[in-house]
Structure 1
């Protein structure tokens, strides 16, 4: 199981908590988190969802740890989320609810994550999250001139335990490493020599 994120890790998700990611880049953020959570991974997606994780396209080492659940109704999906969060051997639960989450559902998920010592990441539609969530991330893909690379704008919009922030990262999806990208004009320049 993953240790608590260090203060220098801006993308670490606290254990025993449920987090949310929204935006077009939310699935890339989820795969990034999957790489950083060793152990069993459960991805819960509605049966009617047109996109499902394909083994050949996953980052290395994910496919053999991944369990895919496809419930047929939203009630079954919420039940699956709660029960897998309670399952102690699960390292990370990633779920894609199709309906906005109520405060009650969000609180139930938090209690289940605490009981199971599990981390949850809900991939939500924009502004469809629960007030009970620990953190909420906005994840968007950005245009990149470099072939084979994707820039991501990951914005921490809500954080119950600390500061919020905005990062532009370069992540190719194949490894655990990300490279922070400076905004234009914000690069560190060498100090001016003393006169």
Structure 2
């Protein structure tokens, strides 16, 4: 049985969620835009820093608090501290190394303690079993694109924010239900539109 999109997204509060795939950054940007209150975005110093203005089509840049950390462990520690504080609506953490079960549980407990939602951008296969949900987000050829080799527009800087379709799949869910949807971003309404359930 397919899971209704509205029961899966927006993400469940006070839980730690994960996203992978080339569309993960857009998923995180949209989630940040839907969050109530400030958003802490943590990444390692060697990685390109997220540009708040580049996320503007999805999220108010003024609500982002950008944090940099020296090591993957410090990314997790910073995320945990922000989650426990309860002072922000969402914590986004860019993770480059696999997350162990212990670290995943610590983040889950911190999210519950602070009543704050966590979203971890993880490499494929690098998530934790403690996560509430894990999403895979993939780009699809835009309407009117010709040929199978047309690359999807995957960044939050593309010009046409209303027509780019995405395949959003839940590949891990503590409730046990896995589902996927073809969605697009409606810039005028500032919300995710479900085009169809995958395969329908």
TM-score normalised by length of structure 1:
0.84
Would the aligned equivalents of 1:28 and 1:173 in 2 still touch at CA under 8 Å?
A: no
2:11 matched to which residue of 1?
Answer: 13
Say if 1:175 and 1:24 are closer, same or farther in 2 by CA, change over 3 A. farther
Q: 2:46 matched to which residue of 1?
A: 48
User: Once the 2 structures are TM-superposed, how far is the Cα of residue 72 of structure 1 from its aligned partner?
Assistant: 1.4
Q: Secondary structure at the match of 1:125?
A: coil
Is residue 52–residue 64 contact of structure 2 (8 Å, CA) maintained in 1? no
Write the distance in 1 (CA, Å) between the matches of 2:114 and 2:77: 15
Cα 1:183/1:134, change in 2 over 3 Å: closer
Aligned to 1:176: 190
1:167 counterpart residue number: 181
What is residue 28 of structure 1 aligned with on the other side?
26
How far the C-alpha of 1:75 sits from its partner, in A, is 2.1
**Structure 1 pair 57–7 and aligned structure 2 pair: CA distance change class (3 A):** closer
The equivalent position to 1:151 in structure 2, one of 165, 171, 178, is: 165
Partner of 1:142: 140
Q: Distance in 2 between matches of 1:165 and 1:17?
A: 19
Q: What's 2:124 paired with?
A: 126
Q: Distance in 1 between matches of 2:69 and 2:53?
A: 20
Aligned CA-pair RMSD: 2.3
Structure 1 ranges of 4+ moved more than 6 A: none
Structure 2's unaligned 5+ residue stretches are 145-158
Question: 1:42-97 CA distances to partner (integer Å, 9 max, x unpaired)?
Answer: 00011100252232542365211110001111221121011011111110000001
Q: Is residue 59–residue 175 contact of structure 1 (8 Å, CA) maintained in 2?
A: no
Cα distance in 2 for partners of 1:185, 1:76 equals 41
Query: Within the alignment, does 1:111 sit opposite 2:109 as a pair?
Result: yes
Task: Please give the alpha-carbon distance, in whole angstroms, between the structure 2 residues aligned to 1:41 and 1:60.
Answer: 13
1:34 partner SS: helix
**Equivalent position of 1:191 in the other structure:** none
Structure number with greater Rg is 1
For the residue of structure 2 that corresponds to 1:50, the secondary structure is coil
Deviations 1:125-147 (A, max 9, x none): 00100000000000011111258
Query: For the structure 1 residues 50 and 179, does the alpha-carbon distance in structure 2 shift closer, same or farther, using more than 3 Å as the test?
Result: same
CA 1:125–1:7 in 2, change beyond 3 Å: closer, same or farther? closer
Q: How far has the Cα of 1:13 moved from its partner? A: 1.0
- Cα pair 2:58 2:187 within 8 Å, conserved: no
